[in-house]
Structure 1
Amino acid sequence: MKVRCERIVSMVRGGAVAYKGVFQPECLSVNPSARLQATLDLVQEIDHVARPVDAVVSAWFRTRRYIDDRDRGLILETVYSLLRHHARLGWWLEGQGREDVPRNRLIAWLALKEGRTADQVKSLFSGAKFSPAVLSEREEALLAKLEGHAIDHPAMPEEVRLECPDWAAGALRARFGEAFADEMAAMLTAAPLDLRVNPVKAMRDDMLRALKGFGVKAQASALAPYGIRVDERLSLARLPMLKSGEVEIQDEGSQLVALLVDARPGERVVDFCAGAGGKTLAIAAQMDNRGHVIACDVSEGRLKRGAERFRRAGLHNIQTRLLASETDKWVKRHKGGFDRVLVDAPCSGTGTWRRNPDARWRSPEEKGLDALVAMQARILASAARLVKPGGRLVYATCSMLPAENEDQVAAFLAAHPGFKPVPLKDVAPQVTNSAHLDYLALTPARHDTDGFFAAVMQREAAPTPDAAAIS
């Protein structure tokens, strides 16, 4: 695992890999112990780097291109499974008086979840080249205590069994009531792979046929009109339509949020917290490349990544704008100048725990949820200034916490009587959403999407001058 290389250029021969003419022993594909060591290396990297897991994983694999797609998939499957069982593994280790470190976590996983015997685990920790070091006496004692047990235990608190962190448990229980356990259990499943067809370049039926031609199992999304759900795990390098801009990766819930903006050709639209531009792309495509979309963000790096995606998608009606803050002078200069404004606010990300299982163990922002909610309120109030009379403001989060969603919108409407909520049935009648009449509220358990919230609000039209007064 010390090898650094660009690519494997030959083939596996008798358990050795030919790389640039030099045989390297112990290919991962034929050596489960080497694959386990690679998994351990990645978990240790995640533990020591204060960055989101997806960014760490991407950087880690970029420097290890000799790991093929099959091994990459198996390593990632184990890493994300460990993250989805973080609280339960920690509970077992604490109960045995053991430190919660990557090796102990992996030993516990192999015994408790994979059901490996002590001898099987010891054979994986063989100490051979490219393999994990031999188990210490203390690690063997831990393994002996865990052998024969299952990962779930009757004595576990419900929050531990459902992997729900203390900082969010109270609010989520209040939100879901009796459905709390079902909703949290759904958050422990792997997120699906959703694609959005770019209507400027392609039709959904054509893309479904193309995917079938590549041997990919896929179907039209249940709710999003341009969505496709891929029914298998696959290397995205297999999909040339991603490189051509005919499709984009986007969760079905995110697609529906963009749909609520209801942008029309020729209109002026702002995506106020655009990030890397996923919803901006969907909005610009709604407008059939006509009109003007401005993607704003406080991160220059995210905007640059977005600009690359816009070009690939063949969308020319998008302009990026770097803001110093939510109260940038640009906002004041363009007051009342836009038909539609989307505020996809920074949030706790509770709705994305399926695809970002590490996020649940990072309390939102350094100063806590209250500070995050206050920032959302400032962003929403500032962005609202951009909406012209008669125009619409869409507030969205990928959170399931009422403080960031319903409570946030209620506070905004109370402070801004010139805005009124637009009922969901008037903007997204295809979404089954019995819990709300005014707002979009998606959850993994009910909709099999990420957890999303969105509210559409309309600014009162400018008063019409009285005809008698004019005469």
Structure 2
Amino acid sequence: MSAPALARVAAHRALLEAARRGGYVRDLLTASESPHALDARDRGLAMRLALGVTATSGCLDEALDAFLAKPNKVSPRVRCALRIAAFELLYGGTAPEVAVSQGVELVRASARGAAGLANAVLRRVSEARDAYLSAEDVAPAGRAAVAEARRAGLPVWLAAEIRSSCGDAARPLFGSQLGVAPLAVHVNPRAEGSVDAASVGGSPSALPGCIQGADGPRLVASGLFERGDAAASDLRAQLVATAATRPGTCLEIGAGRGTKTYVMAAQGRRAGYAREHTALDLHERKCALNRGRLEAAGLIDGVRLVTGDARDLDGALAGADAPPRLFDTVLVDAPCSGTGTMRRHPEIPWRLDHADARTGLPGLQLAMLEQAAAHVAPGGELFYATCSVLSAENRAVVEAFLSGERGAGFSPVPVSRSGIFSLPTFAPAAELLRACEDGDGMFQSVPAPGCYDGHFCARLRRNA
């Protein structure tokens, strides 16, 4: 008999707390005191187990429940311990004898009398691993689709939606689903003389201000975020924000904590643009966080923060400090499924509701886009962006908008030809967008091993 490894205990504790609070396991594990008592290797294992179990929880339960006589009678603490061991057996590459032994000890620490049950169930999960992942229990007609979903740790319906939306690009997405997404940051123009790629363990990008492949621990230790000298942002999200950076007035809808606000303010300065930026979000707390970061970064000049509902822009803007009613640029950063960012947010696959992804979110997105269109000045541009890979939220929403009354005066134009990319320093970045554009110039990236996240952006010009 041996005690469970500290990394597994830390992962178990964080997973239980996330379930209790309905929170995010990464945040809880990072903020908790216990990981700091571990060495770097164990901290990494604890994070990998916690994130992996979260990302594949439905598949883990399915595999476990096949060998539990009374699945509904298993306590949350015991189930959580069983999930950790099952993840190691199915997806983690841990030696079966280690995964089973450690799983039994983790269960024993939660409920001593359940150790025998855990031993029997985990051994059977180990023996059935290949058959489960190959979906041998499913009729031949549906076996391939179920096996694809199980190997990626996804709900079958979500894997099918991704396959339908992404075509051949779905395979590398599924292959990267349980991997680590690369880290990129955007550097404040004021800090470019003191912050370079080597200092954060990364490499320069074709996009001005962007450092790609940065080292997370080195970034955290650097203090760059606290000083406002950099903001963490996926490379492809930075491309979208840069494309929407234009001279004149801008309305950013769905600004959240302000990562795109930060990037747009920084890129506007690099481009020498005179800009007035109104950043709107539904939540006052997020607006306050946006303001605080911009102030720390020295990027607040010309930026107005507004709290309000994007489905009632007239009402939201009427309560603000005399913003314009028509804008040269409107960016709708729409609430979405987040399916392009599942590696960073492992809660998404098993919390996402099928009806929301198919109809609920697209309905909200279309309503926001139609509201936004009424605030684009003649000759101005409307950008619609999500971090989803589902066509129902992306191209289908844009097509529904363009075919309706509110979209009749708009025409799609390539994102890569946005005006900022005509500037010599920004021109090389346009190729990064063109690599993922369709025939109408709409940008859609898809995650893959070693690649950045899935983002969508359509650029629509209003007729003068």
Report the TM-score range of the alignment, normalised by the length of the smaller protein.
0.7 to 0.9
Among candidates 304, 328, 347, match of residue 319 of structure 1: 304
Q: Which has the higher helix share?
A: 2
- Structure 1 counterpart of 2:173: 183
Whole-angstrom CA distance in 2 between matches of 1:90 and 1:173: 24
What is the CA distance between 1:227 and its match in structure 2?
1.5
The alignment's TM-score, normalised by the length of structure 1, stands at 0.80
- For the Cα contact (< 8 Å) 2:243–2:416, is it kept in 1? no
Q: Which residue of 1 aligns with 2:115?
A: 136
Aligned match of 1:197: 187
- Among candidates 168, 172, 175, match of residue 162 of structure 2: 172
Secondary structure at the counterpart of residue 208 of structure 2: coil
Q: Confirm or deny that 1:41 pairs with 2:13.
A: yes
Is the counterpart of residue 153 in structure 1 residue 133 in structure 2? yes
Given that 2:107 and 2:118 are in contact with CA atoms closer than 8 Å, whether structure 1 keeps it comes out as no
CA distance, structure 2, for counterparts of residue 231 and residue 375 of structure 1: 35
Instruction: State whether structure 2 residue 267 is matched by structure 1 residue 286.
Output: yes
The residue number in structure 2 matching 1:417 is 408
- Give the distance between the partners of 2:231 and 2:156, measured in 1 at CA: 35
Match of 1:92 in 2: 63
Supply the AA of the counterpart residue of 1:154.
S
* Pairwise CA distance, 1:183: 2.4
CA shift digits 1:20-42 (9 cap, x unpaired): xxxxxxxxxxx863332222111
Tell me which of 243, 250, 259 is aligned to 1:260.
243
The superposition leaves residues 297-331 of structure 1 with CA deviations (integer Å, 9 ceiling, x where unpaired) of 11011111111110111112211001145214244
1:417–1:391: structure 2 CA closer, same or farther, 3 Å change rule? same
Q: Is the 8 A contact 1:125 1:133 kept in 2?
A: no
Matches within 5 A, 1:369-448: 369-415=358-404, 416-427=407-418, 429-430=430-431, 431=433, 432-433=435-436, 435-445=438-448, 448=451
The alpha-carbon deviation at position 145 of structure 1 amounts to: 2.1
**What does the per-residue CA deviation read over 1:146-194, in whole Å, with 9 as the maximum and x for residues that have no partner?**
4466577323622222233244333322222244323222233211111
Aligned residues: 419
Which of the numbers 246, 252, 255 marks the counterpart of 1:271?
Answer: 252
Task: Check 1:170–1:436 CA distance in 2 against 1; reply closer, same or farther (3 A cut).
Answer: farther
Aligned-partner Cα distance in 1 for 2:443–2:357: 25
Contact 1:253 1:450 in 2 (8 A): yes
- The alpha-carbon deviation at position 275 of structure 1 amounts to 0.3
What TM-score does the superposition give when structure 2 sets the normalisation length?
Answer: 0.81
- 2:291 is the alignment partner of 1:307: yes
Secondary structure of 2:263's partner?
Answer: helix
C-alpha spacing 1:401/1:93, structure 2 compared with 1 (3 Å): same
How many angstroms does 1:104 deviate by?
1.4
Q: Following the alignment from structure 2 to structure 1, what is the Cα–Cα distance between the partners of residues 455 and 187?
A: 20
Alignment partner, residue 452 of structure 1 = 455
CA distance in 2, matches of 1:231, 1:32: 33
What are structure 1's unaligned runs of at least 5 residues?
1-30, 212-216, 462-471
1:104 matched to 2:82? The reply is: yes
Q: Residues 397 and 453 of structure 1 are in contact (CA less than 8 Å); yes or no, is this contact kept in structure 2?
A: yes
Quick check: 1:335–1:388 contact (8 Å CA) kept in 2? no
Q: Please tell me the residue identity of whatever aligns with 2:294.
A: F
RMSD between aligned residues: 3.0
Aligned with 2:221 (options 230, 238, 257): 238
The equivalent residue for 2:37 is: 67
Provide the rounded CA distance (Å) in 2 between the counterparts of 1:125 and 1:376: 47
Change (3 A) 1:111 1:397: closer
| Distance change in 2, residues 1:330/1:37 (3 Å) | closer
| 1:65 CA drift (Å) | 7.6
Structure 2 residue runs without a partner (length 5+): 137-145, 422-429
Identity %: 27
CA distance in structure 1 between the aligned counterparts of 2:97 and 2:197, rounded to whole angstroms: 47
Is the CA contact 1:201–1:245 (under 8 Å) kept in the aligned structure 2?
A: no
The superposition leaves residues 367-408 of structure 1 with CA deviations (integer Å, 9 ceiling, x where unpaired) of: 563121111111111112221111111000011111111111
Q: Which residue of 2 aligns with 1:356?
A: 345
The whole-number CA distance in structure 1 between the counterparts of 2:354 and 2:187 is: 34
Paired with 1:120 and 1:425, the residues of 2 have a C-alpha distance of 48
Tell me the SS of whatever aligns to 2:224.
helix
Q: Give the 3 Å change call, closer, same or farther, for CA 389–117 of structure 1 in structure 2.
A: closer
Give distance in 2, aligned partners of 1:48 and 1:258.
36
| Residues in 1 aligned to 2:309 and 2:442: alpha-carbon distance in whole angstroms | 30
CA distances 1:386-445 after superposition (whole Å, capped 9, x unpaired): 211111110000111111111111111122221111123422631212544420111112
Task: Classify 1:359/1:391 alpha carbon distance in 2 versus 1 (closer, same or farther; 3 Å).
Answer: same
Question: Highest Rg: 1 or 2?
Answer: 1
**Are the counterparts in 2 of residues 331 and 386 from structure 1 also a CA contact under 8 Å?**
no
